[in-house]
Amino acid sequence: MTKNTTGSLMRPTPLPESASHPVVTPLSPSVVYASDTPDMLDAQYEGDLHGYTYSREGHPNADVVAQAIDRMEGAPHMGVVTASGMAAVSAVLLGLTQAGDHVIGGNQLYGRSLRMMSEDLPRLGIETSMVDPGDVEAVRAAIRPETKLILVEVVSNPTLRVADILGLSALAKETGVLLVVDNTFTTPRAFRAFDHGADIVIHSITKLLAGHSDVMLGYVAARDQALNDRLRVFTVTAGMTPSPFDCWLAERGMLSFELRFDRAQSTAMQLADHLAGLAGVKRVIYPARHDHPDHHRAEALLKGHYCNMVSFEIEGDRAAANALARGAEGLRFAPTLGDVGTTISHPASSSHRALTAEKRAELGMSEGFFRVSVGLEDPSALCDVFTAAIQAATE
Ligand SMILES: *Cc1c(COP(=O)(O)O)cnc(C)c1O
């Protein structure tokens, strides 16, 4: 570090010197980075010298988070961290398409992704089709000459169906269409999407990766270098850059990600079996259970890790649902997932409220349908809470 002899009028530079280094990644909120000379700045812009310039273009805290996820996903180039998971989805859907293109989406995508497919892309002249990602032949039938990409989630929300990723990746290769996998639910702990043929991987870091419900961030990376570069440039132009502090918190959260995930998914397995044995529970959905319609596919794809999400349905109407939420002592009734604490959500009043009751019934989401994001509580204490809540709801 060069010594500042003139002294900045406003800012003390350089920082106090230390021969030893901080163990924790420093937080770098600086919006701008000063280069020594125009020559140096030139070299930075030309890519001959690595150096940050303006934080919308990139900053160290974002890159630390990107590299941590790159390692977990086996991404071939440094991914891009964005200000939310939806920013990452938008970067792909808006940054890689143009009017006249066609895009296919899984029919049970995250609500906002579905909305972008049904409301925003058509407005821009991009046609979309929603197809069951478990049915490769249906996806094949939807492909047109102008189809650009297929966006799917591995495990769907909230019915936890498992996409036929191997079939889809073979189809994508055969037809030259990009396979984009939103790996938020499964995480690289359960599923490494690039290893299974994905061209682009998306995350909402907000959920399990950061894991403490105090950060909103996303991630996107492409296998192809040119596509990866285009995604980065688009996120910078569109201003999807994350806050350094959010990145700092996410890095901190991710240090315990694998431990949290393993604990939550083993508790999820116990809770699913426990729920299945309770009177008043009509059905339990968990991909590790043998009664799950996609159990064999889940077993083959997820290598015993599954996920921390369990859905179940009780007998009864909205009053029963209210009683269950009230009766689940200590658990938050909140429409998110991946927190350290278990959260319960109710699709009929949240994610799927826009649908008619008939449509929801068709999708298997009655008033008695709940989704649980299992957290880090003691497993048997958690099972007891559900026993009491379901008793309160169904008696
Ligand atoms: C939450 C979520 C998103 C959106 O992420 P945000 O960080 O909330 O913008 C996208 N996909 C899936 C599967 C999600 O669960």
Residue 250 and residue 261 in one domain: no
Q: What is the pLDDT of residues 150-192, one digit of tens each?
A: 999 999 989 999 999 999 999 999 999 999 999 999 999 999 9
CA 109–ligand 1 middle distance (angstroms): 10
Pocket test for ligand 1, best of 110, 154, 208, 336 (most atoms within 8 A of CB): 110
Please report whether residue 235 resides in a domain: yes
User: Pick from 219, 254, 289: which residue ends a domain?
Assistant: 254
- Mean pLDDT for the stretch of residues 19-29: 95
* β strands within 120-270, DSSP E: 127-131, 147-153, 178-182, 200-204, 218-222
Q: What is the residue whose two structure tokens read 């008939």? A: 358
110 is catalytic: yes
Q: If pLDDT is split at 50, 70 and 90, which confidence band does 259 have?
A: very high
pLDDT given at position 1: 43
pLDDT beyond 50 at 258: yes
3-state secondary structure of 233: helix
Residue 150 domain flag: yes
% of the chain beyond a pLDDT of 70: 98
Same domain, 143 and 228: yes
291 shares a domain with 245: no
Q: Give me the torsion for CA of 190, 192, 193, 199, rounded to 10°.
A: 170
Same domain assignment for residues 181 and 214: yes
Rounded Cα distance, 44 and 30, in Å: 17
pTM over 0.85: yes
Residue 2's pLDDT is 47
Range of the domain at 304: 257-394
Residue 20 lies in a domain: no
Shared domain check, 309 and 378: yes
The number of distinct structural domains making up the chain is 2
Over 60: is that where the pLDDT of 195 sits?
yes
Ligand 1 environment, Cβ below 6 A: 84-86, 89, 110, 113, 153, 182, 184-185, 204, 206-207, 216, 218
The whole-number pLDDT of residue 351 equals 86
Same domain assignment for residues 84 and 73: yes
Mean pLDDT of the chain: 95
The answer to whether residues 202 and 65 belong to one domain is yes
Of 254, 283, 312, the residue that ends a domain is 254
